[in-house]
């Protein structure tokens, strides 16, 4: 975040933390946070505008309710060093995160309620109706560009574990899809719950920035064929908590490739399957047997073992 914005939201978070344990009086709060009483009043008004219920009486300010979703709501109670920028509607959270990257920001999650120009890989589109979970995490890890795929895997693991915690049987399809198995052995197949789009810029030996875009369907209305949403498998979704847990998991995994690979294997649907992987130059058919750092799929083919770094993967029925 630009410096002034960061300071502002940090103070606002401190105000929230203090009044959550309230009541606390305006003068006490001003003294504690080393700002003026007018500044405290402005923060309280801005928080009320953002939907926080803040009571004030003789004893002082007290937090009485948190909005269901939004930037301040996600930031409040988020246990990760990531700023949150929220928009009701954006063309694409990845595009906005790239703008922030160009301004020199880092460790920001851009979240939108709706995307009007959501993007998939290879110039494909991503349908993003209001009420979904559409977000992009901008970070500047000290990694060579070739290692960036580990962050896609980290996001896939984080999203899978958060979906599973919410009661949805999400599994990972290499490299970037979350699927929900049909579960009834029928022909209607696995359905796509979420997708990840990682974009980056870097020098030869070091990434300048990475944007990891994660799209998770909540409602099923308006989605393309073959898609599903969290609400098809569970009665209720608290998007605020979902995004918080997702960001916390991503933050814990982003510096821990070993943990990422272990958890990825555990949640993968692709390992052990017969697959066809279309790469820009080739079509590879065989059994997917493992994942290797930084994200290569190991495929046992008739001509031996092949490591695939990028491509579109199709799960084939057993021969």
Would you say 24 or 246 has its CB closer to ligand BT5?
246
3-state secondary structure of 74: helix
Least distance in angstroms from the C-beta of 98 to ligand BT5: 10
Q: Quick one: how far is CA 49 from the chain centroid?
A: 26
> Can you give the three-state secondary structure of 94-155, one letter per residue?
HHHHHHHHHCCCCCEEEEEEEECCCECCCCCECCCCCCCEEEEEEECCCCCHHHCHHHHHHH
Q: Is 232 in the site for ligand BT5 (CB under 6 A)?
A: no
Interface pattern 199-228 for ligand BT5 (x via CB under 6 A): --------------xxx-x-----xx--x-
The distance of closest approach from Cβ of residue 213 to ligand BT5 in the complex, given in angstroms and rounded to an integer, is 3
Give the binding range for ligand BT5 (CB under 6 A) out of 43-51, 88-96, 261-269, 300-308.
Answer: 88-96
Interface residue with ligand BT5, options 121, 265, 274, 276 (CB under 6 A): 121
Helices (H), 142-214: 149-165
Q: Per-residue contact track with ligand BT5, 131 to 170, x per CB under 6 A?
A: ---xxx----------------------------------
| Binding segment toward ligand BT5, per CB under 6 A, in 13-21, 31-39, 122-130, 246-254 | 122-130
Residue with tokens 């990825």: 264
Query: Does residue 6 belong to the site contacting ligand BT5 (CB under 6 A)?
Result: no
Region of 222 (left: φ > 0; alpha: ψ -120 to 50; beta: rest) is left
State which of residues 131, 149, 195, 257 lies at the interface with ligand BT5 (CB under 6 A). Answer: 195
Q: Using the rule CB under 6 A, which residue among 119, 171, 240, 245 binds ligand BT5?
A: 119
* Using rule CB under 6 A, residue 269 touches ligand BT5: no
In the complex with ligand BT5, which residue's Cβ is closer, 30 or 227? Answer: 227
Task: Give bridge partners of residue 54 from the DSSP assignment.
Answer: 63
Tokens encoding 88 = 């009701």
Alpha-helical segments (H) within the chain = 3-20, 26-33, 37-49, 71-75, 93-102, 149-165, 239-253, 257-267
Please tell me the distance from the alpha carbon of residue 247 to that of residue 74, in angstroms, as a whole number: 10
- The nearest distance, CB 42 to ligand BT5, in angstroms, is 32
Q: Which residues bind ligand BT5 (CB under 6 A)?
A: 92-94, 115, 118-122, 124-128, 134-136, 176-177, 192, 195-197, 213-215, 217, 223-224, 227
């Amino acid at each position: 975040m630009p410096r002034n914005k960061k300071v502002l939201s940090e103070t606002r978070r401190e105000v929230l933390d203090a009044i959550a344990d309230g009541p606390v009086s305006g003068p006490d709060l001003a003294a504690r946070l080393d700002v003026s009483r007018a500044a405290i009043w402005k923060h309280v008004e801005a928080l009320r505008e953002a939907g926080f219920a803040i009571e004030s009486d003789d004893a002082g300010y007290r937090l009485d309710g948190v909005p269901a979703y939004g930037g301040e709501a996600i930031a409040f109670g988020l246990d990760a060093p990531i700023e949150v920028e929220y928009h009701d509607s954006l063309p694409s959270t990845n595009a906005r995160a790239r703008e922030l990257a160009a301004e020199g920001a880092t460790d920001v999650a851009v979240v939108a309620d709706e995307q009007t120009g959501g993007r998939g890989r290879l110039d494909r589109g991503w349908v993003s109706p209001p009420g979904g979970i559409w977000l992009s995490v901008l970070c500047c890890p000290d990694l060579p560009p070739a290692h960036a795929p580990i962050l896609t895997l980290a996001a896939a693991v984080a999203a899978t574990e958060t979906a599973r915690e919410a009661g949805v049987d999400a599994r990972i399809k290499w490299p970037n899809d979350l699927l929900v198995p049909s579960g009834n052995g029928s022909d209607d197949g696995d359905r796509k719950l979420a997708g990840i789009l990682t974009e980056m810029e870097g020098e030869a030996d070091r990434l300048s920035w990475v944007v990891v875009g994660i799209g998770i369907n909540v409602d099923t209305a308006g989605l393309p064929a073959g898609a599903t949403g969290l609400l098809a498998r569970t009665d209720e979704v608290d998007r605020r908590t979902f995004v918080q847990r997702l960001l916390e998991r991503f933050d814990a995994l982003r510096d821990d490739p070993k943990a990422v690979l272990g958890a990825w294997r555990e949640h993968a649907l692709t390992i052990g399957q017969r697959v066809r992987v279309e790469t820009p130059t080739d079509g590879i058919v065989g059994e997917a047997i493992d994942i290797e750092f930084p994200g290569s799929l190991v495929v046992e083919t008739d001509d031996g073992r092949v490591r695939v770094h990028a491509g579109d993967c199709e799960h084939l029925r057993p021969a």
